[in-house]
Amino acid sequence: MRVVFAGTPEFARVALQDLHAAGFELPLVLTQPDRPAGRGMKLQASPVKQLAQQLGIEVAQPRSLRLDGKYPDEAAAARERLQAAAPDVMVVAAYGLILPAWVLALPRLGCLNIHASLLPRWRGAAPIHRAIEAGDAETGITIMQMDEGLDTGDMLCVERLAIAPGDRTATLHDRLAALGGRLMVETLQRLRQGPLAVRPQPAEGVTYAHKIEKAEAAIDWSQPAEAIDRRIRAFDPFPGALASLDGVPVKCWAAQPAPGEGVPGTVLAVDDEGITVACGHGALRLTELQKPGGRRLAARDFLRGHPVRPGMVFERPVD
């Protein structure tokens, strides 16, 4: 089975590694163009491109696949390379480009997507973040036959995964990436034997996982402690939940519910275990923090260089 792979971040790199290890023929990988990254803002290849190059797989990086779009020459060149690759199937995982109809129709067996949610819940760009932010008890992986809608295609395989009470996006991401790679390998192995049973997505329970914006990072201390805690965990590692203390921005990376009541944002207690801050309902003990230009620090280490005392106020940062 000839498999063209389309993906960009670490989540997709795991699936590409699993497909290669399982022995599938991979004539071509599509991934996003190199982007500036790091303090020096040097161009950096995506995790998928880095792995593909290590494995000796041909890579294409069109800025668009729309033949009538902004980059028609790049789309046409990508079509030629896809036609030459003659794929039986295309596997897509967090690619970042919309696949137009001509791409969906090109592989003999169509395009299969690894989606990190229990569809139709959390269609869209940020299903892992939004599941944690919403307080969902479980999530999972859906292997989907792609159509022209936004994550609306028929389901081929679904496996559930519990969300642990302390899960952050980073930890849940890694478990889902491993599950997604395994399920896609299993799906393709069954597809070799013949057509698979498909299930349309339910019409009820549709939600959208909108892309995470930096503006969402600001902590609203008037919210309940549980909601702020979920947002802190959902926004780790990006963009990080942000507060302001004495006019200085502080990222809050970890917290736990704590006893206490007071004016939202007010520091109630300080010790080596953390900084307890009043919320709209209840309180949170901040246990890992970071100031601009610094490292993520446990509360006791943060307090050595940044004294905090009861009565000080964490505020919502001004845009």
Segment 23-47, tens digit of pLDDT: 999 999 999 999 988 777 889 999 9
Q: Which long-range contacts (CB under 8 A, 24 or more apart) does 42-48 make?
A: 46/8, 46/9, 47/8, 47/9, 47/10, 47/12, 47/13, 48/5, 48/7, 48/8, 48/9, 48/12, 48/13, 48/16
3-class SS of residue 262? coil
pLDDT-based confidence at 305, cuts 50/70/90?
confident
- pLDDT confidence of residue 41: 81
CATH H-level superfamily of 2-209: Formyl transferase, N-terminal domain (3.40.50.170)
- Looking at the chain, the whole-number percentage of residues with pLDDT higher than 70 is 100
pLDDT-based confidence at 101, cuts 50/70/90?
very high
Has residue 318 got a pLDDT over 90?
Answer: no
pLDDT-based confidence at 63, cuts 50/70/90?
very high
Mean pLDDT of the chain: 96
**Residues 281-305: what's their mean pLDDT?**
95
Has residue 319 got a pLDDT over 70?
Answer: no
Domain extents in the chain: 2-209, 214-315
- pLDDT confidence of residue 256: 95
Has residue 317 got a pLDDT over 90?
Answer: no
Q: What is the pLDDT of residues 206-261, one digit of tens each?
A: 999 999 998 899 999 999 999 999 999 999 999 999 999 988 999 999 999 999 99
Tokens of 229: 């805690």
Q: What is the pLDDT of residues 163-185, one digit of tens each?
A: 999 999 999 999 999 999 999 99
Same fold: 2-209 with 214-315: no
- pLDDT confidence of residue 173: 98
- pLDDT confidence of residue 38: 74
Counting Cα atoms < 13 Å in the Cβ hemisphere of 53 gives: 9
**Residues 156-163: what's their mean pLDDT?**
98
CA separation for the pair 233, 165 (Å, rounded): 10
**Residues 72-82: what's their mean pLDDT?**
98
Q: How far is CA 68 from the centre of its chain?
A: 29
Q: What is the pLDDT of residues 111-124, one digit of tens each?
A: 999 999 999 999 99
76 vs 316 pLDDT, higher one? 76
- pLDDT confidence of residue 293: 87
20 vs 317 pLDDT, higher one? 20
**Residue 3 near residue 41 (C-beta atoms within 8 A):** no
Question: pTM for this structure?
Answer: 0.94
Task: Tell me which fold the domain 214-315 belongs to.
Answer: Methionyl-tRNA Fmet Formyltransferase; Chain A, domain 2 (3.10.25)
Max CA distance (Å), the chain: 67
Q: What is the pLDDT of residues 131-148, one digit of tens each?
A: 999 999 999 999 999 999
DSSP 217: G
